[in-house]
Amino acid sequence: MREIIFDTETTGLDPKTGDRMVEIGCIEMVNRVATGRTFHAYFNPDRDMPMEAEKVHGLSTAFLADKPFFRDGVRDLLDFIGDSPLVAHNAQFDFGFLNFELAFCGHPEVGLDRMIDTLVLARKRHPGAKHSLDALCSRYGIDRSHRVLHGALLDAELLAQVYVELTGGRQIGLALAADTPGATGARDTRFVPRIGERRAPRPHAATAEELARHAAFIGTFESALWTS
């Protein structure tokens, strides 16, 4: 199954009050294994970047000034995500901005039936624990030392590893190669018991000599309870 893990960076928290998406990063996974295909783009938000947001992701108004508008890169993005399920952390936020930008330039919104929220998965699996991306990376031993600032593609890469852990862990990689779409000539590694040549059962009955020795031994007891 093909899935897209994605993350966005924005100018703020709410597109309804004028905030815009400025970065998106997508990771393609097939059967919960990253394929190496990615999509990454910066967008000119056509507005200034608030200082509070810039402190989070480091994307300044000057840096984004020569980047394309979302409408100029939307076709490449839609071609990449296709009709696959979309996985995000606190997905309502990312879907809100993605669908706002799509509607703003006249494209249909992405259906919420395609949304997989790793925040919801984490809360179910680890109730009462911290569920931020950093906290989940720490829980699962995922190296995030290079994450100084938020970045859409970097965060999507980290989230892809977290998603694997939340949905079964690394053992899912042990699935048969034959389960991978398009795989040919895969070796069947299922356990099949070996049935070799049957041997005659070993004799277990006592011999006459052994029975006589046992009776002699019992006779040495003055009162054997098991013979009464």
Rg (CA), the chain: 32
Q: Mean pLDDT across the stretch 92-98?
A: 98
Binned at pLDDT 50, 70 and 90, residue 176 comes out as: very low
CA count, 13 A, side-chain hemisphere, 152: 20
pLDDT at 186 > cutoff 50:
no
Higher pLDDT, 146 or 114: 114
| Torsion sign across C-alpha atoms 104, 29, 35, 57 | positive
Give the bridge partners for 42, in sequence order: 23
Structural domains of the chain ordered from first start? 2-176 (3.30.420.10)
Q: Which of 59-63, 71-75, 155-159, 172-176 has the lowest mean pLDDT?
A: 172-176
To the question of whether residue 79 is assigned a binding role by annotation, the answer is no
Binned at pLDDT 50, 70 and 90, residue 149 comes out as: confident
Compute the mean pLDDT over every residue in the chain, rounded to the nearest whole number: 87
pLDDT on residue 223 = 66
Percent above pLDDT 90 for the chain = 70
32-64 pLDDT, tens digit each = 999 999 999 999 999 999 999 999 999 999 999
**What positions carry a catalytic annotation?**
150
To the question of whether residue 57 is assigned a binding role by annotation, the answer is yes
Buried b / exposed e along 136-160 (16+ C-beta atoms within 10 A):
bbebeebebeeeeebbbbbbbbbbb
Higher pLDDT, 203 or 221: 221
Residue with tokens 């996974």: 29
To the question of whether residue 52 is assigned a binding role by annotation, the answer is yes
pLDDT on residue 187 = 41
Binned at pLDDT 50, 70 and 90, residue 145 comes out as: confident
